[in-house]
Structure 1
Amino acid sequence: MMTTINWNKVLDGIPDNASEAIVNSQFVSVLIEALGFTKNEMQFPQFPTGRSADTVDFAARKNIGTDKFLFSGVDPYLLVEGKGRAIATGARINLAEGTPKYNTTREQIKKYLLSPNCERAQWGIITNGIHIQLFRRHGKVVIPATACTLINKGNISAIVQHIKSLIDNPPKALTVCIYNNKGGVGKTTTTLNLAAILRKHKKNVLVVDFDSQRDLTRNLGLDVGNITLSDCLTDTKADVTKTVVPFNHKDKRGKIIHFFDVIPSSDDMEEFTDQRLAESKIQKGAKRLRDILKPFVFQYDYILIDCPTQWLFFSQSSLYASDVVLIPTKHNGLASLHNAARVITQFIPEIKQVRGDGGPIALPIFFNGEKITDPALQTANQEIEKIIERAKKDGLDLQPYYWPKSTTGKEIKTICSIPSYATIANAAFSHIPAVFLNNIALEHYSGLIKEYFLK
C-alpha cells in the first residue's frame, strides 16, 4: 500500500537555493513515487536517451512480469527533467512559461521524448519544485498536457493527482485543426488528404466538418448521420456517436473498403454563423465542440477538424477542441503568410488563456499551392524575414514556425511544401481524396505526415 506523502514537509525541506541534485532527490523522486512508480520502476540519475550523449534525469515504466525497468531500462513511459532553484552563484532559476530557462528546458524534454531509446515514452515532466508542467508525445508531436503551474502547499496534491490521472488514462488521439485566417489556402483539401494518407499508414482517423459551408461533406458525397453535429451542439443529451458516418469506397473489383470516419456538417449549421445566436443557443459556446469530441479521443489515432476562415464561433471552437493547429499557407500569398503569424501570436494565445491547460500549439507552416520557383521562394522568404523581425520587436520568436530547421547561428530556410496539381483539385469530382487516386499526391502527402506527425 502506498504511503501518503506529506507534501508540506517535502516542500519545506527544499531550500530556496536548492541545486538540481537536491531538487531531484528531495522532490522529483518523491513525485515519481506519488505518480505510482516504485523504486524498481524508475532509473536515475542520467537515463541515456540514445541521442548522442544526451541523458534525462529520470525515466520510469511499470514493470512487466520479470522485466524490471530498474534493470532493463527498456521502453520508458515517463521522462522527468529536473532543474535546480538556483545556480552556484545564487542566481534564481525561473521555469515560468516564456522565460529563457523554460524555453530551453521545454525543448530539452521534447528532444528526449523523440530520442531512440524513448520511442515508446508518452509523457514528459519538467520541474524545479517551484513550477511543473506535463507534456504528451504523440508520434513526432510533443504537446503540453497541462499548463506550466506554480506549485504551492495548497495545490501540490491536486496537481500530482491530475498528472497521475492523465498518465494512467492516456488519450489515444491527436486532435488537429487545419486553419489559417485566410481563405484559399486549401484547408479542406489538406484535411481530406491528410486523413487519407494517415489511413494508408494504418491509422484510425475521424474527420470533423465544422464548417457551415459543408465543402468537406460534399467533396466526399456524404449525408449526415442519424444525429447531426448541430443536434449535439444544442442538446447535451444527444448521442454523439450517432453523428459518425463511415467513408467507404468500392475498389475496382467492387469490394467496399472503409477508409475513415466522418462527422459531417449539416445545413442547419448555417444559423451558427451568427456569433450571438451561437453563444445564446449553445451551452458553453465555443467550448462545446471539445466536449462533443471527448469520447472519440480514446477511440481514434487522429481527429482532424476542418473549419472556416473567419475568427468566429466555428474557428474558435475548432482551435479550442484541438491539440495542435496545422497552418497551410501560399508562398505567393502575402496575406496567408501574415495571417499565419496572426494565428500563432493572437488567436492561439487567446484560446490558450481560456483553456488553461497549455494548448493548443501551432505546428510550423507549410506551403500549399503552385509549384515554387527559386525566385518566388526567395520573395516569400524575404517577406517571412520581415514577419520574423517584426515579431522580435514584440519579444516573439516566430522562426520555429516559419523556418523550423534553423538553429542558433545557422539559418535554414526550408519549408515543407505540397504542390498543387489538377489531379488533386479534380479529386472532388470523384468524391475521393487525391491520395487514393494519384501517386504524385500520395508522395507529397506522405512527405507531409513524415514531416509533422509520424516517426
Structure 2
Amino acid sequence: MGKIIAIANQKGGVGKTTTSINLAASLGVLEKKVLLIDADPQANATSGIGINVENVEIGTYQLLEHSSSAREAIVKTETPNLDIIPAHIDLVAIEIELVDKEEREYMLKKALAEIKDDYDYIIIDCAPSLGLLTLNALTAANSVVIPIQCEYFALEGLGKLLNTIKSVQKVHNAELDIEGLLLTMYDARLRLSNQVVEEVQKHFNDMVFQTIIQRNVRLSEAPSYGESIINYDAASKGATNYLSLAKEIINKNA
C-alpha cells in the first residue's frame, strides 16, 4: 500500500518544490515506485521535472474536478521509477469551482483511491497557501513533511500550519501524521543558519529530520534544465542530501 506524503508550508520560497521533486527522484533511484503530484497552480514541479506546462491537457485540475481519472492523468518522467500528475495554470480556478461542492475537501483523496496501491510513495507538492488545494492534499495524505528554511523568519507561520494540521486531523483526516520538519537552505558559514538549526531542534527535537538540506548552486540550477538533482548532478551536495533524506524516510517507514 502506497504512503501519501504532502510537502507543505504556506510560506513561499522554503524549498517545497525542490524537496518534492528531489525527494521523489531519490526514492525512485532507491528502487521505490513513486508518483509526484503537482498541486500548485505555479506548476513548478511539472516544469522542474522536464514537462512543458503548456502541453498539459489532463492534470491535477481534471483530477480534482473528477472529469478524468488518476490513471489518465499520469505521465512518465525521464527519472527511473518516477511518474507525475502534472499541473497547469488552470489549477488556479479550482478553489472557486469546488467551493460549493459537497465533500470538497475529499476530492483528491477519492481520486487517488484507485491508484494508491500502485506506488510505494505518492509525493504531493502543495501550493504556498492554506487554501482548499492544500486542504485536499492534507486530507488525502498519510503524513506531511514541512520544509523550514534556515533564515530569520523560519518559525514564523509554523504555528499556523501546525494548527491547520491539527484541525485537519480533527475534522477530515485523523490518520494524518507529521513525517518530519526538514531544514533547508542551510549555510554552515552563517551564524544565523546554525542558530535556526539549534532553535528548531530544541523546540521540536524528534520531529526534525537528521538530514539537513544545504545551500547548493547545482540544486538551484537543476529545475531550469527540467531535471531533478539526481539526473542533473548526482555527485553534488544537493543530490547527497536528498538521497540521505529518502533513506531516512524509507527507514522510518520500514
Shorter-chain TM-score range: 0.7 to 0.9
SS of residue in 2 equivalent to 1:329: strand
Letter in structure 1 aligned against 2:5: V
Question: Of 227, 245, 255, which residue of structure 1 is paired with 2:75?
Answer: 245
Match of 1:287 in 2: 106
TM-score w.r.t. structure 2 length?
Answer: 0.87
Letter in structure 2 aligned against 1:417: I
Letter in structure 2 aligned against 1:375: R
Q: CA deviation at 1:308?
A: 1.0
TM-score w.r.t. structure 1 length?
Answer: 0.51
Question: Of 119, 124, 140, which residue of structure 2 is paired with 1:305?
Answer: 124
Residue identity (%): 23
Please give the per-residue CA displacement for 1:408-432, whole angstroms capped at 9, x wherever unaligned.
xxxxxxx531112111111112211
- The answer to whether 1:445 aligns with 2:242 is yes
Match of 2:171 in 1: 354
Match of 1:367 in 2: 183
CA distance in 2, matches of 1:384, 1:323: 23
Q: How does 1:203-214 map to 2 (within 5 A)?
A: 203-214=32-43
Contact preservation (8 Å) 1:233, 1:283: no
After superposition, the Cα gap between the structure-2 partners of 1:378 and 1:220, relative to the gap in structure 1 and judged at 3 Å, is closer
SS of residue in 1 equivalent to 2:32: coil
SS of residue in 1 equivalent to 2:135: helix
Please give the per-residue CA displacement for 1:121-166, whole angstroms capped at 9, x wherever unaligned.
xxxxxxxxxxxxxxxxxxxxxxxxxxxxxxxxxxxxxxxxxxxxxx
Q: CA deviation at 1:340?
A: 3.0
- The answer to whether 1:379 aligns with 2:185 is no
Match of 1:222 in 2: 51
Q: CA deviation at 1:228?
A: 3.3
CA distance in 1, matches of 2:76, 2:84: 6
Looking at both structures, which has the greater relative contact order when contacts are Cα pairs under 8 Å and sequence separation is at least 6?
Answer: 2
Match of 1:142 in 2: none
Please give the per-residue CA displacement for 1:263-315, whole angstroms capped at 9, x wherever unaligned.
011232111244xx4312x4421211111111121100000000111110111
Contact preservation (8 Å) 1:327, 1:366: yes
Q: CA deviation at 1:374?
A: 6.9
After superposition, the Cα gap between the structure-2 partners of 1:451 and 1:339, relative to the gap in structure 1 and judged at 3 Å, is farther
Question: Of 203, 206, 209, which residue of structure 2 is paired with 1:400?
Answer: 206
CA distance in 2, matches of 1:337, 1:203: 32
CA distance in 2, matches of 1:381, 1:305: 25
Match of 1:278 in 2: 98
Question: Of 229, 243, 260, which residue of structure 1 is paired with 2:82?
Answer: 260
CA distance in 2, matches of 1:221, 1:241: 20
CA distance in 2, matches of 1:228, 1:193: 20
CA distance in 1, matches of 2:248, 2:48: 26
CA distance in 1, matches of 2:244, 2:230: 12
Q: How does 1:14-413 map to 2 (within 5 A)?
A: 172-223=1-52, 227-235=58-66, 238-248=68-78, 258-274=80-96, 277-280=97-100, 282-334=101-153, 336-344=154-162, 346-355=163-172, 358-373=174-189, 375-381=191-197, 383-384=199-200, 388=203, 398-402=204-208
CA distance in 2, matches of 1:445, 1:173: 20
Contact preservation (8 Å) 2:77, 2:84: yes
Q: Which has the higher helix share?
A: 2
CA distance in 1, matches of 2:29, 2:201: 36
Q: CA deviation at 1:449?
A: 1.6
Aligned alpha-carbon RMSD (Å):
2.4
Q: CA deviation at 1:196?
A: 0.9
CA distance in 1, matches of 2:82, 2:149: 28
SS of residue in 2 equivalent to 1:327: strand
Contact preservation (8 Å) 2:2, 2:117: yes
CA distance in 2, matches of 1:373, 1:442: 20
Q: CA deviation at 1:381?
A: 4.9
Match of 2:217 in 1: 422
SS of residue in 2 equivalent to 1:295: coil
After superposition, the Cα gap between the structure-2 partners of 1:420 and 1:384, relative to the gap in structure 1 and judged at 3 Å, is closer
Q: How many residue pairs are counted as aligned between the two chains?
A: 248
Match of 1:431 in 2: 226
Match of 1:168 in 2: none
SS of residue in 2 equivalent to 1:184: coil
SS of residue in 1 equivalent to 2:242: helix
After superposition, the Cα gap between the structure-2 partners of 1:198 and 1:374, relative to the gap in structure 1 and judged at 3 Å, is same
Please give the per-residue CA displacement for 1:341-373, whole angstroms capped at 9, x wherever unaligned.
4323x01111111235x3211122121104223
Contact preservation (8 Å) 1:226, 1:242: no
In structure 1, the gaps of 5 or more residues are 1-171, 250-257, 389-397, 405-414
